[in-house]
Amino acid sequence: MDDATLVKECVKGNAKAQHMLFERFSRKMLGVCLRYSKKLEEAEDVLQDGFIKVFSNLKDFTNEGSLEGWIRRIMVNTALDAIRKNTKFLKDISIDAVDFQIGNNDYTIEKMNAEDLLSLINSMPEGYKVVFNMYAIEGYKHNDIATTLGISESTSKSQYLRAKAYLRAKLELISHER
């Protein structure tokens, strides 16, 4: 069943179509939720809340763009809502306050599997992780991140730069251990 037909059937209330939609996208969206959550249980809660929003708003999906992209955006926003509810994680920090650690080992990342990389990202402080995910993985611009999170654009940039420095330092440690 193609996405347009699947959406029509889900909006009609067809339980099989709704189950099919969930099955088609839940694994990939759980991966999205995991990037914003500290634990699997939190990610599963976000996934569940996100799919509730997906099914509630499916009638508004216009088939302009991919269904997967539309669902991903809902999952990211749901994860950000959960973070905002649970913590104040970002402070205004001048971009000049960022320390850079330059180090490059091309082979370290190639040897890592996705699970190891996800673990590294999840070990970041919350503010770094959220901005890193939004900018580097989801493709948001810093002004959009600032608006979405209610922070300044310079804070978004500094959090991203700190996240990169954090990851570089961790990758350098890993490369020295190998």
Residue 8 has pLDDT above 90, yes or no: yes
pLDDT at position 107, please?
42
The average pLDDT across 47-65 equals 93
Contact 45, 30 (CB under 8 A): no
**Mean pLDDT score of the chain:** 83
Q: What is the share, in percent, of the chain residues with pLDDT greater than 90? A: 47
The average pLDDT across 168-173 equals 83
Which residues in 4-23 are b (16+ Cβ under 10 Å) and which e?
A: eebbebbeeeeeebbeebee
List C-alpha distances in Å: 132 to 75, 124, 125, 135, 159. Answer: 16, 9, 11, 5, 8
pLDDT at position 39, please?
86
The contacts of residue 178 (CB under 8 Å, 6+ apart) are 108, 111
Residue 30 has pLDDT above 90, yes or no: yes
Give the start-to-end residue ranges of the domains of the chain: 3-86, 95-177
Rounded Cα distance, 44 and 72, in Å: 14
Q: Which residue has the higher pLDDT, 157 or 105?
A: 157
The CATH label, of 1.10.10.10, 3.20.20.100, 1.10.1740.10, 3.40.640.10, for the domain at 3-86 is 1.10.1740.10
The CATH label, of 3.30.1280.10, 3.90.1150.10, 1.10.10.10, 1.10.3720.10, for the domain at 95-177 is 1.10.10.10
Contact 156, 146 (CB under 8 A): yes
Say if 3-86 and 95-177 have the same CATH topology: no
